[in-house]
Amino acid sequence: MSKVPMARLDRLLANLGYGSRREVQGLLRKGAVVFDGAALSDGGQKIPVVPDLPERMTIEGAPVDPPAPLTLLMHKPLGVVCSHREPGRSVFELLPRRWRARMPGLSTIGRLDLDTTGLLLITDDGPLLHRVIAPRSHVTKRYVARLARPLRGDEAAVFAAGTLMLESETEPLAPATLEPLSDTEARLTITEGRYHQVRRMFAAAGNHVEALHRDQIGGLSLPPDLAPGAWRILKPDELSAIFA
């Protein structure tokens, strides 16, 4: 049987973004931290770091935030960036403010451009992040692109060939699958995650992407009931679906 990981209460809450260890002491002094029905006062007390912690612990009456590892599924809206470092509003600003202080921190699994919408995964689980983006995992990413000009007709063959070289790159792209949806709309499934890859692929085919939306990562689809800007915690079966 695997051992339940334990953490000092004050460190656990500080790492979840509830404040410095001193601020956490303040919460404990007020009796604001309740675990299994009892108010806790000793910051040095060891607490089991288990996925159902939010059902057992409350902070000022509200369920404690889920401990790491935490993975979220978001419908990325237009006009937000995927990096903490890029200028502009970021996807992290759509999450509770306290989460910006979480340790380990949350990162997006790959990136979507400012003007791309759709399925985005956010995690603090480094091994999971690498497993999803590693080329050898062959996790597909599926996009729907609206194009400025009608498809020429040869794009599916060009993208499937595995010989397409993007400007300023030295390695050809892995084969990708294109399905036309109309004259100016196509579904494209890729296995890599190169910089602006989809836009650059259509540019190499003499076209221009006017709108881009990701609707699938591996076998995981963007839930139809998740509005742009909305997010939720990824469920275990959804995690498995990524690699199915």
Residues serving a catalytic function are 113
Distances (CA, A) of 32 to 27, 29, 43: 5, 8, 12
* 42-57 as b/e: b if 16+ CB within 10 A: ebebebeeeeebbeeb
**Under rule CB under 6 A, which residues in 106-125 are in contact with ligand URA?**
112-113, 116
Residue (113 or 210) nearer to ligand URA, CB: 113
Which is nearer to ligand URA, 26 or 195 (by Cβ)?
195
- The nearer residue to ligand URA, 45 or 197, going by C-beta atoms, is 197
Distances (CA, A) of 163 to 59, 71, 138: 56, 35, 18
Among positions 13, 68, 212, 234, the unique one binding ligand URA when judged by CB under 6 A: 212
Nearest distance, CB of residue 222 and ligand URA, angstroms: 14
Within 191-210, which residues bind ligand URA (CB under 6 A)? 196-199
Give the containing element (helix H, strand E) for 190.
strand 185-190
User: In 3-state terms, what secondary structure has residue 130?
Assistant: helix
| Of 242, 12, 17, the residue nearest 130 (C-alpha) | 242
Residue whose CB is less far from ligand URA, 102 or 141:
141
- By CB under 6 A, tell whether 91 contacts ligand URA: no
Alpha-carbon span 139 to 187, nearest angstrom:
16
Residues that bind ligand URA (CB under 6 A): 112-113, 116, 196-199, 212
